[in-house]
Structure 1
Amino acid sequence: MYGGLDRSAPAVKAADDKLIADATHAFGSRANAARAWVEQGYRFYQANQLGMATRRFNQAWLMNPDNAEVYTGFAAVLHDQNRFCDAMKMMETALSLKPPSFQGVYADAGRIAARCAAQGRGLSGPERAAMIARSDALFRNGERVEPDKAYLYNAWASAYYWNGQYADAWAMVSKARQAGGRGNAKFLDMLRAKMPEPPQP
């Protein structure tokens, strides 16, 4: 969101107004422009071009600040910068805008909350416990709306891993496999280093 800077200065406002007018003309509406720039932002993100991804998400935010995917985009960039608690704030904003539940948003938010709990600097004990509880609630909500999704269970396994709940992480790996998932080999090696894989029943 352009760093939260005041965008009412005449030169900044004029530039924003021109961008909005040009994009509305090119895409047919502000909402269409926002969607297009979100898609471009994710393409840059997947290519590990975080600066360009942020630029596109900023432009999409300017066009439509009520688009939940703008905030999940910001969260993805912040996650990759290891700014997990900042990323979680963006995910909470995205969730408040009621994004489509079928895109794994609850799994992503749950995983980010767990990373914030595990690695967020300056969190008090109660704040850390609350973030762990928030992570678990998000995963349970995701399981309710998207049952038997390997993606959700793999994300849940990683959330448990980051907070030292290794037996629970293995239980989620098992659920992911039952749902047809294979899991990430590097993550499974990390988990095995903390706790041997339990025998399957």
Structure 2
Amino acid sequence: MLIIRILLITLSLTLSLLGSNAFAQDINLQPKYGVQPKNDAQKAADEKFLANIDSYYKGDRKKAAADVATRGWQFLRQGNAPDAMKRFNQAWLLDSSNGNALWGMAAFEAGSGKLNESLTLFAEADRIIGDDIDFSVDYAKLLGVIGAQTRNKAMLNDAFTRFARIHEKAPQHTLNLQNWAIMLFYAGNFAEAWKKIKLAEATPRHAELDPRFLTALQNKMPRP
């Protein structure tokens, strides 16, 4: 499943360095703290954290959540997934309506192969930050991945519709065009996939195109 691996959100996850049992037990590394009751020590830690944040941000928890979520994304891009999830959870604790925190959790879950869990978080975030182009690109990509894996035509069609809608709003978005091409490849429509790649190659960020995918497409159908 080379194409599916290409489609997965690229995260240099360090989860393999954590014991699987330790990961399961550490609620800080689970979206929304695992959605389970906390013990007294954990509650006390939350109270201390919130008190410190309220003091620093003068009670503006939405601003605090936005800053903490941003830090989470910085960690994620650096390949530090555990610290990223801790920040996303803290941002969610501060403001459960913070879409960037939910998006970050969704990216984390997708990167660790938990696609259905990721999809649930994406759907929740979509109601909050669905107008964000980069978020929309990630969400459409995940729908395409799951649709391809499960042979769910409705989900695949939803992904294709989203790719087209994003392209109307952001025609120069390289990765959206690549994701669109990859899903067309998976559907066996190689000629259309090449059309999307040619559009992507004309965008400013064309260097971001995945050479592995281009090779796979070339092997199926030589460049027109």
The TM-score bracket by the shorter chain reads: 0.7 to 0.9
Query: Deviation digits for residues 34-82 of structure 1, max 9, x if unmatched?
Result: 1121111111111212111111111111111111111111121112112
What's the CA shift for 1:155?
A: 2.5
Equivalent position of 1:167 in the other structure: 191
Matches within 5 A, 1:79-118: 79-101=110-132, 103-118=133-148
Matches within 5 A, 1:17-36: 17-28=47-58, 29-36=60-67
User: In 2, are the aligned partners of 1:114 and 1:162 still within 8 Å (CA)?
Assistant: no
Change (3 A) 1:58 1:173: same
Equivalent position of 1:134 in the other structure: 158
Query: Deviation digits for residues 101-137 of structure 1, max 9, x if unmatched?
Result: 2x42211111111111223xxx5x5xx1121122122
- Gap runs ≥5 in structure 1: none
Runs of 4+ in 1 over 6 A off after TM superposition: none
What TM-score do the two structures reach when normalised by structure 1?
A: 0.83
Q: Distance in 1 between matches of 2:65 and 2:140?
A: 26
- Gap runs ≥5 in structure 2: 1-31
Task: Name the amino acid aligned to 1:191.
Answer: L
CA RMSD of aligned residues (A): 2.2
> Is 1:56 equivalent to 2:82 in the alignment?
no
Q: Distance in 2 between matches of 1:94 and 1:142?
A: 17
Task: Name the amino acid aligned to 1:31.
Answer: K
For this pair of structures, how many residues does the alignment match?
190
What's the CA shift for 1:16?
A: 2.0
> Paired residue for 2:96, among 65, 72, 94?
65
> Is 1:45 equivalent to 2:96 in the alignment?
no
What's the CA shift for 1:181?
A: 4.0
Report sequence identity in percent.
Answer: 25
Query: Deviation digits for residues 137-184 of structure 1, max 9, x if unmatched?
Result: 222221232233223212222333345443332221112123344222
The structure with higher relative contact order (CA 8 Å, sep 6+) is: 2
Change (3 A) 1:82 1:196: farther
Task: Name the amino acid aligned to 1:94.
Answer: A
